[in-house]
Structure 1
Amino acid sequence: MYVENDYERPVVSTDHQGKDWRKPFLRDYGRIIHSASFRRQQGKTQVFPGHESDFFRNRLTHSLEVAQIAEGIADRLNWENKDRPEQQIDSRLCAIAGLVHDIGHPPFGHNGERALDDQMKKLGGFEGNAQTLRILCRLEKKARYDKPVSGDDRAGLNLCFRTLAAILKYDRPISAVRDKGSKVAKGYYLSEKPIVDEIKRKVLRGKAPPKAGDFKTVECAIMDIADDIAYSVYDLEDCLKAGFLTPAIILASDDKLLDSVVDAVNAQIDDKITKNEIIDTFADIFDGMIPDEGEENPLTVFMAATRASYELSSNAYVRTKLSSALVHEFINGVEFEFNAENPALSKVKLNQEVKRKVEILKQYTFNAVIYSSRVKLGEYRGTEIVTDIFKALNAEKGHLLMPDDVRELYLEAKDYPSKARIICDFVAGMTDRYAVEFWARLRSDGAESIFKSV
C-alpha cells in the first residue's frame, strides 16, 4: 500500500543519510514521543480534572489508548487480508495518528477550544484538529524550511507527508472571518493550506483528488474509529469509577436526558433510534446484573439490583472485564473496503449495529456527565481563565508578559492576525495547571513569585 512518495518529508533531511536502520514512519514515531507537545498532553483534561484523582484519564493516557486500539484494528484487518499484500496497512502509522490526534487541544478541553475560537472568530478561528496539524508542521522545533511556506520558515517535526495525512480529519479550510455566534468550525487554518495541498499531491501520487471535503486516508479513518471506541468505553469507565454514573442511574434515566441522547445519536447514524433502544442497549451491556425473572418480591429484586449496580462501579475487576469486552466487540465490528484505484483512500467503518452501540455509549456519557452542574462549574472556570489570559496578552504591551521566544515571534510578525495567532498558539499550548498558574500571576494579590520564569 506504500511507495517511496509516502516517505517524503517537507524538508529534505540529512541527519540520517546512510543510516536507514529505521523506517521513516518509525522515525516519525520517535520524533512525536520525544516532543514537548506530546508530553504536555499529560496536563490536559479528558473528562475529569487531573487533580481530582490519579485514576482518571488525561489527554495523554487517552491518546495512548487510542493508539493501541488503532494499531489493533489495523492488525485485525491485516490478518483478515494476509493473502493480499497490496491491502496491508501500516499498523504503526495508525498508532502514530492515535498518539497525536489530540495534541492540538488547548487547556480545559472543548471549553478552552471554544474560548480561543471566540477570540479568533475574525482572525482565522481556533480548532483542536487544525491546531494539531499546525503543531506538527509549524510549531514544534525540529526543522525549518529552506524556502518559507506562506512566509513562515518553521517546519515543525518535519514528518512524512503520509504521517501528516493520517491526522487530517477534516478536509476543509476554516474561514478567515466567521459570525460571532457561530460554532467551532472543523478543518485546518488557511495558513496551512499550502502544506495541505502538498500533502494531498504527495499522497495521491499525481492522481485526481476526490471532491472537496472527501480526502481522508485509511490510517486517519482507523484513528477516528479508535477515538470513538476509546471515548465510548473509557469515559464510561471513568464515570463509573467516579460515581457520576451507575448502572441503576443509567437504567433509570429520565426522559429529558434520553431525548437529548436520542437527538445526538440520530445526528450521527443513518437509521434512527428511540429512547427504549437506548435503555435496551445498556440493559444488554449490564446483562447478568438483573435478578432472575423468577424472583417476585420487589424489595428483593431492588436490593439485588442495587448491589450489582454498586459492584460494577466499585469493583475494578468487574469494570475492567466490561471495558475489555466492549473494546474487543467494537474492534471486531470494523469493516474494510479496499480502493484499488487509490489505496490510500480505502474506506474503514464500523458496521451499523456496532456504530449504534458506540454512539449510544458516547453520547449518553457526554450528555449525562459533561452537562452536569459539577462538571460545568469546572468548565466555566476554565473558559474564563483561557479568555482572561488571551485578552491580557492581546492588550497593549501584552506581549511583555510572554516568554522571550514567544515575544520574539510576536514582534517579528508583520500584521495583527499573525500576532493574534502567535498569542493563540501560546495559550493553546498551556497545560491546565500552567494556565491556572499564569492566570493567578495576572490576577492574584501577590501570592505568586516573580522569580519563577514564565
Structure 2
Amino acid sequence: MPVAPFAISARPGRGRLYEEAESTTRSPWQRDRDRVIHSSGFRRLQYKTQVFINHEGDFFRTRLTHSLEVAQVARSLARRLRLDEDITEAISLAHDLGHTPFGHAGEDALAAQMAPWGGFDHNTQAMRQVTLLERRYLDFNGLNLTWETLEGLAKHNGPVDRPDAWLSQYDSMHKLDLSQYASAEAQIAAMADDIAYHGHDLDDGIKAGLISLDDLETLPIVGEALENVRSYARSNQILSGEMEQRLRHEMVRRVINVLATDLLTTTENNLARLDPQTADDIRQASGPVVRFSPAIAEANGAIREFLFARLYRHWKLNRMAHKARETTSALFRILADDIELLPDEWRISARAAKTDSSKMRVVADYIASMTDRYAMEEHLRLTDLSIPG
C-alpha cells in the first residue's frame, strides 16, 4: 500500500549529520531501526526497570519489552494511517534509550544530583546516546541516524520550547526545528507509548498482587472491558484453573483495542480537516494531529491517575524506589568526588573534560548507561570492602 502524501518520504529526506552512501538493500528508516536494535544502549534495556526492578521477577516488563510492545502498537497504527512503518518503529524502539537504571526513581535521583550541572532528562539522554555515546563506527560517534528519526526522538512528546543546554547546543549544529511539532510517525510513537504502558502496567500490577481485578471495576474503559470479559466467560461457561490470568489478558487486550481504535478514528478525522499534503504540513499544524477524542483522553487520564495512586506509589514499590534513589545518589556522589574511580574509558573522558560541568556529565552518562544489576554491583564494589574492585 503506498504511503499517504503527509507521511515521511525517503525522497527527499534531510539526510544524516555525517554523509554516508545510502544502502542498496534498505530504506534510510530501516537502516535507522537496525542501528538502534544493534546498539549497546538497546541491549541494556533488557535489564532496566519498567515498573519492577529486574530481580523482582522474570516475567515483568523491562524497558526492552516495553519498547518492543510500543513498536508493535505504533507499527499497527502507522499501517492503518498509511504512514511510514519503519521510521515509526525506529523512533518507538529508541524512545527510552536514555533511561537510567531503576526507572523513574533512578532518573529522579540523577536529576537531583545533576541539578547544579545542567540537570538530567531521559529524553535528552536518549539523544545523547544515539548522537554521541554509542561508539561503533570508525568515522563518527553515535549512530548517525537520519534527521527525520532524530527529529522524532527529540520532539515525539511535542515541540521543545525550552531545550536544555545540551540539546540547544546540538540544535545549533544540526537544526531539528524544535519549536514545531514532530512528524505524524513520531506522534504515533508517543501515543503508542501511552497505550502500551497503560495496558502492560495494569497486567504487571495484577500479576504482582499489588492491584486486583476487583479494584478495576469502576475504572473508565478498564471496568467496562472487565465486565464484558466476565460476562462472556459466564455466558459461555468457560471454567479454568487459569481463569484470572485469562480474564486479565483478555481485559488488557480489549483496553488496548479501545484506546487504539479511538486514536485512529480521531486522528483520521483530524487529518480530514487539516488535509495535509506533506509531512511539513503536520509539523506546522497548530496542535498535535495524532490524539484521542476528548472523552477517551479523559478516561486515559483516569487510568494514569489510578496507576500512580495504586501501583506506582504502592508502599512496596515506594520502598524499592527509595533504595533505588539512595543507590543512584551514592554512586554519583562517590564517582563525582573522585573520577579516578571510573573505569578506563569513562575516566579518560572525565580527565579530558574542560569544565566541572562536563566532568559531571561524564559521571551522569556512566550511571545512566548502567543496568539495574550492574548499578547494584557497582555500588557494592565501591562501598563494600569484601567485594573486589
Paired position in structure 2 for 1:264: none
Deviation at 1:370, TM superposition (A): 1.0
Paired position in structure 2 for 1:340: 277
Paired position in structure 2 for 1:429: 369
Corresponding letter in the other structure for 2:343:
P
Equivalent runs, 1:159-238 vs 2, <5 Å: 159-169=145-155, 171-172=159-160, 188-197=163-172, 200=175, 213-238=179-204
Computed over aligned residues only, the root mean square deviation of the Cα atoms, in angstroms, reads: 2.7
Deviations along 1:149-207, one digit per CA (max 9) or x if unpaired, are xxxxx641000010111111354376xxxxxxxxxxxxx54223243356546xxxxxx
Deviations along 1:2-34, one digit per CA (max 9) or x if unpaired, are 2534250011125x6xx5221111111111111
Does the 8 A contact of 1:241 with 1:313 survive in 2? no
Q: Distance in 1 between matches of 2:385 and 2:96?
A: 35
Equivalent runs, 1:367-386 vs 2, <5 Å: 367-386=309-328
Paired position in structure 2 for 1:419: 359
Of the three residues 52, 56, 59, the one matched with 1:52 is: 56
Deviations along 1:223-267, one digit per CA (max 9) or x if unpaired, are 11000001111100111111111122344xxxxxxxxxxxxxxxx
Tell me: CA distance 1:313–1:431, structure 2 relative to 1, closer, same or farther (3 Å): farther
Does the 8 A contact of 1:11 with 1:143 survive in 2? no
Of the three residues 98, 105, 108, the one matched with 2:92 is: 98
Matched, 1:158 2:144: yes
Does the 8 A contact of 2:229 with 2:247 survive in 1? no
Q: Distance in 2 between matches of 1:224 and 1:318?
A: 28
Does the 8 A contact of 1:231 with 1:362 survive in 2? no
Paired position in structure 2 for 1:316: 245
Tell me: CA distance 1:314–1:49, structure 2 relative to 1, closer, same or farther (3 Å): farther
SS at match of 2:295: helix
TM-score, length of structure 1 as denominator length: 0.74
Deviations along 1:38-85, one digit per CA (max 9) or x if unpaired, are 00001111111221211110000000000111111111112xxxxxxx
Does the 8 A contact of 1:142 with 1:156 survive in 2? yes
SS at match of 1:419: helix
Q: Distance in 2 between matches of 1:374 and 1:62?
A: 22
Q: Distance in 2 between matches of 1:228 and 1:339?
A: 25
Equivalent runs, 1:128-143 vs 2, <5 Å: 128-143=122-137
Does the 8 A contact of 1:168 with 1:220 survive in 2? no
Q: Percent identity?
A: 30
Deviations along 1:422-451, one digit per CA (max 9) or x if unpaired, are 1110011111110000001111231x223x
Deviation at 1:315, TM superposition (A): 3.3
Matched, 1:9 2:3: no
Q: Distance in 2 between matches of 1:224 and 1:107?
A: 21
Deviation at 1:285, TM superposition (A): 2.5
Deviation at 1:288, TM superposition (A): 4.1
Deviations along 1:75-104, one digit per CA (max 9) or x if unpaired, are 1112xxxxxxxxxx1111111111111110
Paired position in structure 2 for 1:275: none
Does the 8 A contact of 2:102 with 2:372 survive in 1? yes
Does the 8 A contact of 2:91 with 2:149 survive in 1? yes
Deviation at 1:214, TM superposition (A): 3.8
Does the 8 A contact of 1:105 with 1:132 survive in 2? yes
Of the three residues 239, 243, 252, the one matched with 2:205 is: 239
Structure 1 unaligned spans of 5+: 79-88, 146-153, 175-187, 202-208, 252-277, 293-303
Q: Distance in 2 between matches of 1:357 and 1:247?
A: 18
Equivalent runs, 1:290-301 vs 2, <5 Å: none
Structure 2 unaligned spans of 5+: 1-6
Higher relative contact order (CA 8 A, sep 6+): 2
Q: Distance in 2 between matches of 1:279 and 1:66?
A: 23
Does the 8 A contact of 2:220 with 2:302 survive in 1? no
Larger relative helix fraction:
2
Corresponding letter in the other structure for 2:37:
I
Corresponding letter in the other structure for 1:426:
Y
Matched, 1:329 2:258: yes
Q: Distance in 2 between matches of 1:143 and 1:136?
A: 12
TM-score, length of structure 2 as denominator length: 0.86
Paired position in structure 2 for 1:180: none
Matched, 1:365 2:307: yes
Corresponding letter in the other structure for 1:393:
L
Corresponding letter in the other structure for 1:131:
Q
Does the 8 A contact of 1:236 with 1:361 survive in 2? no
Corresponding letter in the other structure for 2:364:
C
